[in-house]
Structure formats: structure tokens, C-alpha cells
Amino acid sequence: MSKAYVLVVDDEPDIRELVREILEDEGYAVATAESADQARSLLRERTPQLVLLDIWMPGDDGISLLREWAQGGVCPFPVVMISGHGTVETAVEATRHGAMDFVEKPLSMGKLLATVEQALNAPDAVAAPAGAPAAVVEPVGRSSAMRDLREQAERLAGTDSWVLISGEPGSGRKCLGRYIHSLSERRAGPLVEVAAGTIAGQSAAHELFGQVRGDQVIPGRLEAAAGGTLILDGAADLDAEAQTRLASAIDAGSFQRVGGSERLSLDVRMIAISRRDLTAEAHAGRFRPDLAYALSVIPLTVPPLREHAEDIPELVVFQVDRLVEREQLGYRRFTVAAQNRLRNHHWPGNVQELHNLVQRLLVLGDGIDIEVGEVEAALSERPAAAGGDSDWPQALALPLREARERFERDYLQRQLQRADGSVAQLARLAGMERTHLYRKLRALGIDPREGGESGGGRA
């Protein structure tokens, strides 16, 4: 399987062919277009995982084409602009519409390859309105429950069977889905996630199947996931109309974009996630029985943290190391007494709750050792403690900029948890435009790909 499918849009034949040869030598599948119209035509046939887009072309320019692709709020694939005559204003406009980077003419092939690889591996590489997948982690724990879960996931990864992952919120369900994809034959293909509860009615059909409006093609999630895996989070919340369309697509093995006539192959592995039993939902008349059976070929259940509490010391070490590395927080260690207190907590929020508590103690605490009294105080705080009243005495002693950043970080982390990891839903809750929201999350060191289930595994 090729590393990725790249579309090169440039009106200069020499540039197009040179870039094609270089990328194909690196294992990429490449298509080229000399104009915006030709690019639109190629998009009808297949959705790229990356577009290299010239700014200055006859007919529609690259910025106009980028703006057209980004009408849904976020461009459905990463775009790197190519320009020999760029200005600061042009760069700002392109960035505002979702361009990830620029390469200048004359092209440096070394820089081009580095930019392509960086764009494809970026957090929003398979850009989509509901956010992009997180880094893959292996489920952590030496308990029999977690060993069994890893073994089941590894066996499943060797097949192309569809999987239904159930479990309580915060238990690491999406982490498990990403882990299965990372071990599968489809791991070189895209991993696309969609939160079913954030789309409804016609927007659900557009989101999943894409749409055609005149000459404009807007790919959907199924198309973006071709050759890879689609994680359908909150499957039980899928809109009735979307259930019908999806069941029909599964039965036919193909689907049409809304407003289009071309049939596209349904070449995805579906990993559905649900906190509710889809079969029970079908018996109650709230879910299509045929779709419930199709999504539930192989059921997996992630155990709640209270059922494998013996893994908490290992999880704590993992969380500390990850937060120190990824967010540059100061290192602290939990004493044995503190770890024992954590083992005896009920953990209604599961691994996500543990992650939040560890993060809070690293950020707000002093000294190397985290003693049992500090853990007890943190556990006794109300659920919204991150950013709650108990934090204000320390926050008020900070400079205004640092206090504002702390509030924004706590606020957005809490809202991201409420949104169950959906950046689209987070944007609605926070009242922010999604492009600006992505920049804010990156500036604050918040990884939207955690999806409300941070660190249920090992990096």
C-alpha cells in the first residue's frame, strides 16, 4: 500500500512532473492537475490525503480553491501552498482558510519532502471538522483484564472485521480503536474519526458521504477513510436518516455523495464506539436492526478502571511521563501511600479522570513528592475542580497573562471532555470559529486528538 495519495495542482508542467517523480520515488501515489477545474474533476474520483497547491494559476487561483474546499469550516484534507511570489498578506489569507504550510519556488526537494511528511503526520493531517486522530498508544496495564483486551485487539487486527467497542466514557475506547488500526493491514491508510452525536439530519449525510454542489466536490468521512479505518464514536446517537443511508451503503458496498451520481466503493474498516448496547437499542426501536448487526460483528468491551485498579500505579507513571514530555510540566512522583489511595478510589470518570487529576497535581503542586494528603485534597474537590474555586487563590497571585492562560486551558479541557473529544462540538460550546480554536488549542498545549479519553494506553 502506498504511503499516501497526494494531489499536485500547478500550472507549470515542469514543476508538476518533477514533484510527481520525487514523490513517487518515495512511495507516494500522485495525481497532477494544471488548473482548479482539473483539480475539481480529480477530487470527484478520489479524495487526496494531501494537496500541494500553487497560488497563481490561470482561472481560479489557489487561494480561491482553498477557500472553496474549506467552506465547511475546516479543509477536509491538509493543503500545502506553493508560491514563487508570495506576500505576507497572501500567507495570512491562506492560513486563515486552513493551509498548513508554504514551500517557495524554486523548489528545494529536500524541504518539499520534509514538508510533505510533516503535513501528513500533523495532528490534523487527515483534516476533518470533528478533529483528527490522536497518536496511537497501547492499552496500559498488567492485569488479566488488560492483557486479555490487548490480546483480543491484536487478534482482531489481523482481520478486516468490523468492531464494536463498548465501555464507560473515559475508559479508553477510542484509544483501543486507534490501537487496532495501528496493528492492522490498513495501518498505512488513513484513520478518520467522527462523533455521531454532533451531526444530524442532512448535515449527517453530508458529513459521512460528502456532497456535490455544481462543480464543487466536498468529500465526506467515508471517502476520506478509503483504504483505512473509520472510527464512528457514539454510534447509538447516529441520526435516523444517516442510519438509513449507512445501512444502504453497507448492503451495496458503495455509496453516492449527496447531490452526486457517481458510486464510490465503501473501502473502509468500521470501528464503532457506543456506551449503549446497539442490539438493545434496535429491540427498543431506536436503532436500525440491520445496521446494529453490521456494526457489531466483533464486540469488545473496555473495562472500567475500578475493575482493574491494580493497574493504577503503572497508569500513573505513564501519565506523569507523558505530561512531562508533551506539555513540559515539572516532574513529580507519587509516593506509595498516594498510589494506594488512588487504587482505592472509585473512578467514575475512569482513565480520563485519572489523567485530569495527575495533570492538576503536576501543574498546581510543589515539591518532588506527591503525598497522600495532596491526593486526598484533590479527590475531595468537586468535579469541575480544574479551574474551580480552589484554584483561584493561586491563580490570583499570577501575572494576568499566565492566569488567563490557566483559565483558558482549564476551560477548554473541561469543554473538550463535555464534547467527548469532538472539536466541532467544542467550537459550538465555546462559541469559537474552528480554525481559531485549533490554533488556541495548540498554543495552550491541548491535544484535541485525545478525544476526551486521554492516555488509556502506552505510547
Domain locations along the chain? 5-121, 138-301, 306-458
Q: Do domains 138-301 and 306-458 have the same CATH topology?
A: no
DSSP H/E element including 284: none
In the predicted model, is pLDDT for residue 381 greater than 80? no
Cβ partners under 8 Å of residue 277, min gap 6: 166
Q: How far apart are CA 362 and CA 329, in angstroms?
A: 7
Task: Decide which of 3.40.50.850, 3.30.110.30, 1.10.3720.10, 3.40.50.2300 is the CATH code for 5-121.
Answer: 3.40.50.2300
Query: Which of 55-69, 194-208, 217-231 shows the lowest per-residue confidence on average (mean pLDDT)?
Result: 194-208
Mean pLDDT of the chain: 82
Q: Which residue has the higher pLDDT, 99 or 162?
A: 162
Quote the pLDDT of residue 397.
56
Cβ pair 30, 59 in contact under 8 A: no
- Say whether pLDDT at 72 is over 80: no
pLDDT at 393 over 60: no
Judged against a pLDDT cut of 90, whether residue 55 lies above it is answered with no
Name residues whose C-beta falls within 8 Å of residue 25's C-beta, 6 or more positions apart in sequence: none
Considering only residues 8 and 100, tell me which one the structure prediction assigns the higher pLDDT: 8
pLDDT at 394: 52
**What pLDDT, on a 0 to 100 scale, did the predictor assign at position 96?**
67
Residue 454 or 380, more confident: 380
Cell of 457: 494506553
Per-residue pLDDT, averaged over 62-77, amounts to 75
Overall average pLDDT of the 336-348 stretch: 94
Q: 127 pLDDT exceeds 50?
A: no
In the chain, the percentage of residues whose pLDDT exceeds 90 is 37
The three-point CA angle 324-325-327 to 5° equals 70
pLDDT mean over 409-424: 77
Note the pLDDT of residue 88.
54
**What topology is assigned to 306-458 in CATH?**
Helicase, Ruva Protein; domain 3 (1.10.8)
**Confidence check: pLDDT of 432 > 90:** no
Q: Which residue has the higher pLDDT, 134 or 154?
A: 154
Q: Which fold has domain 138-301?
A: Rossmann fold (3.40.50)
Which residues in 30-44 are b (16+ Cβ under 10 Å) and which e? bbbbbbbeebbebbb
**Pairwise CA distance, residues 390 & 41, whole Å:** 57
Lowest mean pLDDT among 167-181, 237-251, 393-407: 393-407
